[in-house]
Amino acid sequence: MASSVTPTPLLKDELDIVIPTIRNLDFLEMWRPFFQPYHLIIVQDGDPSKVIKVPEGFDYELYNRNDINKILGPKSSCISFKDSACRCFGYMVSKKKYIFTIDDDCFVAKDPSGNDINALEQHIKNLLSPSTPFFFNTLYDPYREGADFVRGYPFSLCEGVPTAVSHGLWLNIPDYDAPTQLVKPRERNTRFVDAVLTIPKGTLFPMCGMNLAFDRELIGPAMYFGLMGDGQPIGRYDDMWAGWCMKVICDHLGLGVKTGLPYIWHSKASNPFVNLKKEYKGIYWQEELIPFFQGATLPKECTTAQSCYKELSKQVKAKLGKVDDYFNKLADAMLTWIEAWDELNPSTQLPDGK
């Protein structure tokens, strides 16, 4: 007889969903079948006196700017205001092993067969299966049903490494920078590519924060989204900065980063002129930032995300401080972030604070 017991959703009590928002969260209605069993951490940006409406039936905690200031005190200076970068506060206060973060203008996409895509389920599959950063498998994810390692793949590498990050993609509005948005205002991503790839060791990538999951215990301390938004010279480089720091640290620690499935449906194109103002310094700074991250090496004594991140902060100050004083402030904020992280997560600290 078929069992009438509904299966417990995967990682139900080990994963938090983090949502940065400035608006009511009606978008959750479409995600209800997939998200309702999970705990939400809502990071309310902007005016803390505004009331954010959350649909009935969701288990959540909500933090506004007053809460962040109260919890972190002076250390709240490292959490951005009036920028989606504020989402990283949710990573810090979570007590779970896994995080999935999604923007409130991202909806359930359909696969080519017309089925709703459970993005959370796919991220969990990505995180729970190994990555292959040391040798590229040409048939994509070898651990996926119906695939495997191809001929010539060294057996010594078939075990793979733990996956730290799962980077999902977007149908409809692609995550383009402002110049590209201006040149191609009507371009929509209609291409569903049925693949999950490990990003090879030594290769950086532009990490987008709108459909992203990660192992908080492996790499959480490196997922700081930087100083963006109000009072800062740059915006919309929050996830990029985090992605570059994270990838250097994952490569050093032998952890994997995947990109590809799942897709979400990104519904709202943000204003390209506003975005250009936020991005423009980043567009030329990144020509110096990328070589810095490509050349960054971490000492073997750095064996935890915290110690790697503190070392990276020193190198940011030493090598990027001359690009712009902003990077001196960012390097300091990186240390404040780690101090705040360790304060809120004492159990993750090694005895010597390494």
List residues near Mn ion by CB under 5 A: 103, 105, 268
Rg (CA), the chain: 20
Binding site partner of 238, from Mn ion, ligand LCYJ2WEX, none, Cβ cut-off 5-8 A by kind:
ligand LCYJ2WEX
Helix, strand and coil content of the chain, in percent to the nearest 5, comes to 40, 20, 45
Determine, following the binding rule CB under 6 A, whether residue 270 of this chain makes contact with ligand LCYJ2WEX.
Answer: yes
The CB-of-268 to Mn ion minimum distance in angstroms stands at: 5
Q: What's the token pair of residue 75?
A: 């250390």
Binding site partner of 246, from ligand LCYJ2WEX, Mn ion, none, Cβ cut-off 5-8 A by kind:
none
Q: What's the token pair of residue 192?
A: 């569903």
Q: What is the DSSP string of 113-166?
A: TSPBP-HHHHHHHHHHS-B--SS--TTS-TTSTT--PPTT--GGGTT-B-EEEE
Query: Tell me, what DSSP letter sits at residue 261?
Result: E
Which is nearer to Mn ion, 105 or 111 (by Cβ)? 105
Q: Binding ligand LCYJ2WEX by CB under 6 A: which of 10, 22, 54, 276? A: 22
Name the CA dihedral angle for 31, 33, 39, 43, rounded to a multiple of 10 degrees. Answer: 10
Q: Which residue is nearest to Mn ion (CB)?
A: 105
Which is nearer to ligand LCYJ2WEX, 308 or 333 (by Cβ)? 333
The CB-of-47 to Mn ion minimum distance in angstroms stands at: 20
Determine, following the binding rule CB under 6 A, whether residue 234 of this chain makes contact with ligand LCYJ2WEX.
Answer: no
Determine, following the binding rule CB under 6 A, whether residue 105 of this chain makes contact with ligand LCYJ2WEX.
Answer: yes
Determine, following the binding rule CB under 6 A, whether residue 83 of this chain makes contact with ligand LCYJ2WEX.
Answer: yes
Which is nearer to ligand LCYJ2WEX, 165 or 308 (by Cβ)? 165
Binding site partner of 313, from ligand LCYJ2WEX, Mn ion, none, Cβ cut-off 5-8 A by kind:
none
Q: What's the token pair of residue 304?
A: 């935890």
CA-CA-CA-CA torsion sign (15, 96, 255, 202): positive
Q: Count of CB atoms within 10 A of residue 98's CB?
A: 25
Q: Which stretch binds ligand LCYJ2WEX (CB under 6 A): 4-12, 82-90, 143-151, 305-313?
A: 82-90
Which is nearer to ligand LCYJ2WEX, 44 or 126 (by Cβ)? 44
Which is nearer to Mn ion, 201 or 236 (by Cβ)? 236
Q: Binding ligand LCYJ2WEX by CB under 6 A: which of 30, 54, 62, 82? A: 82
What gap in Å lies between CA 137 and CA 307, rounded to an integer?
A: 31
Q: Which residue has the tokens 């997560």?
A: 345
Q: What's the token pair of residue 148?
A: 């495997």
What gap in Å lies between CA 222 and CA 165, rounded to an integer?
A: 11
Phi first, then psi, for residue 189 (nearest 5°) are -90, 110
Which residues of the shown chain bind ligand LCYJ2WEX in the complex (CB under 6 A)? Answer: 20-23, 45-46, 82-84, 86, 103-105, 175, 208-210, 236, 238-239, 268, 270
